[in-house]
Amino acid sequence: MNHTRGVNMRIFGQRPLVSFIVSVFNLERYIGACLDSIMIQPFDDYEIVLVNNNSTDGSDAICREYAAHNKQIRYHALTGEPIFGRAVIYGTQKARGQYIHYVDGDDMLAPGAYGEIVHILRSDAPDVLFGRFSTVLEESIINFTDKSFQTERINGRAKDQVLEYLTEAQPFNVATWRLIFSRKLREHFRTPVKRLKEPVNIFHDVYVSVRTLLSARSVHYVDTLVYSYRVRSSSISRITAAGNISECCRLLLSLAWLIRCRAKTEQERGFVRAYMEHFQYQLVAALCTMSDEQITESAAAIDKYLKQKDLKGTPSEDCGCSVINTLISEGAAAGLARLRDRCFSKVEQIARRALAKGGDIYFAPTGQIGLFLKTSFKASGISISGFFDNDVQKNGMLVDGIPVHLPAAVTKIAGDKRVTILIGSGYQNVREELRTQFISLGIDESDLLIVEF
For residue 402, the model assigns a pLDDT of 92
Q: Which residue has the higher pLDDT, 228 or 392?
A: 228
Task: Count the alpha carbons within 13 Å of 403 in the hemisphere toward its beta carbon.
Answer: 9
Rounded to an integer, what distance in angstroms lies between the CA atom of residue 287 and that of residue 341?
Answer: 9
Q: What is the rounded distance in angstroms from the CA atom of residue 386 to the CA atom of residue 253?
A: 35
* Confidence band of 293 (pLDDT split at 50, 70, 90): confident
Q: Which of 151-160, 291-300, 302-311, 391-400 has the lowest mean pLDDT?
A: 302-311
What residue spans of 112-174 are helical by DSSP H?
114-123, 159-168
Burial of 17 (0-12, 13-18, 19+ CB in 10 A): buried
Cβ-based neighbours of 7, under 8 Å, separated by 6 or more? 42, 43, 44
CA distances from 259 to 2, 185, 310 (A): 46, 18, 15
HSE value, Cβ hemisphere, 13 Å, CA-based, for 410: 28
CA separation for the pair 160, 147 (Å, rounded) = 21
**264 vs 215: CA distance, rounded Å:** 10
Instruction: Give the pLDDT confidence score for residue 324 in this predicted structure.
Output: 85
Whether 380 has a pLDDT exceeding 70, the answer reads yes
403, 362 contact by CB (below 8 A): no
Query: Is the N-terminal amide bond of 171 cis, ω within 30° of 0?
Result: yes
Chain segment 254-265, per-residue pLDDT in tens: 898 899 888 999
Q: If you write DSSP's letter for every residue of 301-362 in order, what string do you get?
A: HHHHHHHHHT-TT--HHHH--HHHHHHHHH-HHHHHHHHHHHHHHHHHHHHHHHHHH-SEEE
DSSP 447: G
Whether 184 has a pLDDT exceeding 70, the answer reads yes
What are the pLDDT digits (tens) for 301-355?
A: 888 777 766 554 444 445 668 888 888 888 899 999 999 999 989 999 999 999 9
pTM, two decimals, is 0.87
Mean pLDDT to the nearest integer, 431-442: 96
pLDDT exceeds 80 at position 297 = yes
Burial of residue 256 (number of CB atoms within 10 Å: 0-12, 13-18, 19+):
buried
Q: Which amino acid is at 248?
A: C
Give the C-alpha distances (Å, rounded to integers) separating 183 from 144, 212, 398: 27, 11, 42
SS3 388: strand
State the first-to-last Cα distance of the chain, in angstroms, to the nearest integer.
52
For the chain, give the mean pLDDT: 87
Rounded to 5°, the CA angle 322-316-304 comes to 80
Instruction: Give the lowest-confidence range in 3-7, 11-15, 415-419.
Output: 3-7
> Distance between CA atoms of 67 and 285, rounded to whole angstroms?
45
Would you say residue 269 has pLDDT above 80?
yes
Chain-centroid distance of CA 179 in Å reads 12
For residues 133 and 180, the answer to whether their CB atoms sit within 8 Å is: no
Q: What's the whole-number mean pLDDT along residues 351-368?
A: 92
Residue type, 412: K
Range scoring the smallest mean pLDDT among 32-46, 143-157, 300-314? 300-314
Confidence of residue 209 (pLDDT cuts 50, 70, 90): very high
The predicted pLDDT at position 267 comes to 97
Phi, psi of 434 (to 5 degrees): -65, -40
Q: For residue 219, is pLDDT > 50?
A: yes
Is the pLDDT score of 66 beyond 60? Answer: yes
Cα gap 314→308, rounded to integer Å: 13
Torsion angle of the four alpha carbons 199, 201, 203, 208, in this order, in degrees rounded to the nearest 10: -100
Classify burial at 76, counting beta carbons within 10 Å of its beta carbon; exposed 0-12, middle 13-18, buried 19 or more: middle
Residue 207 has pLDDT above 80, yes or no: yes
Name the more confident of 3 and 37. Answer: 37
Angle between helices 322-330 and 241-261 (to 10 degrees): 100
Q: d(Cα 88, Cα 184) in Å, to the nearest integer?
A: 17
3-state SS assignment for residue 418: coil
Q: Which amino acid is at 259?
A: I
